[in-house]
């Protein structure tokens, strides 16, 4: 065998290994890479997908009191046991909101929304009322 044949037989596998590694470095042009960032730039607005905003966890309720009349999430409201609950109360007169059975209270200033937050960990039926006015805002059924 000649020296050239031996040299070629020795270098050929090395050349194949080196050529197999070609293209593993990041290209200078991100658009050429096909990366998600470059594909997002190439996607027309009408085809772009977005995730909907995350829903707040738990149950949110809103009650308004004006002239002694209660509106919003009134009546019997069912809440899953263990759910975090936030009730936003807006009253035209100062008062104290009290959720019976949980002994959660909130002082209400006239015209200012006030949040009453708690975890529904006790099953049953409970009234949320305005103490001074004696008005029941809603009845909470936790089950």
Q: For 100-119, write each residue's pLDDT tens digit.
A: 999 999 999 999 999 999 99
Pick from 81, 122, 89: which is nearest to 105 by CA? 89
In our burial notation (b when 16+ CB lie closer than 10 A, e otherwise), range 16-55 reads eeeeeeeeeeeeeeeeeeeeeeeeeeeeeeeeeeeeeeee
Pick from 89, 101, 87, 102: which is nearest to 130 by CA? 89
Q: 59-142 has which CATH code?
A: 2.60.40.420
Looking at the whole model, is its pTM more than 0.85?
no
41 and 113 Cβ atoms separated by less than 8 Å:
no
Among 24-38, 50-64, 90-104, 112-126, the least confident range? 24-38
Burial class of residue 85 (count of CB atoms within 10 Å of its CB; 0-12, 13-18, 19+): buried
């Amino acid at each position: 065998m000649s020296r050239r044949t031996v040299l070629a037989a020795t270098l050929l596998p090395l050349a194949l290994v080196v050529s197999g590694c070609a293209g593993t470095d990041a290209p200078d042009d991100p658009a050429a890479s096909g990366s998600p960032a470059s594909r997002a730039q190439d996607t027309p607005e009408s085809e772009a997908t977005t995730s909907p905003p995350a829903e707040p966890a738990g149950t949110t309720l809103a009650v308004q009191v004006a002239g002694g009349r209660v509106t919003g999430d009134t009546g019997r409201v069912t809440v899953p046991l263990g759910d975090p609950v936030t009730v936003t109360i807006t009253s035209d007169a100062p008062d104290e909101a009290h959720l019976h059975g949980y002994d959660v209270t909130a002082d209400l200033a006239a015209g200012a929304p006030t949040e009453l937050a708690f975890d529904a960990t006790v099953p049953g039926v409970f009234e949320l009322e305005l103490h001074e006015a004696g008005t029941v805002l809603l009845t909470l059924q936790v089950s």
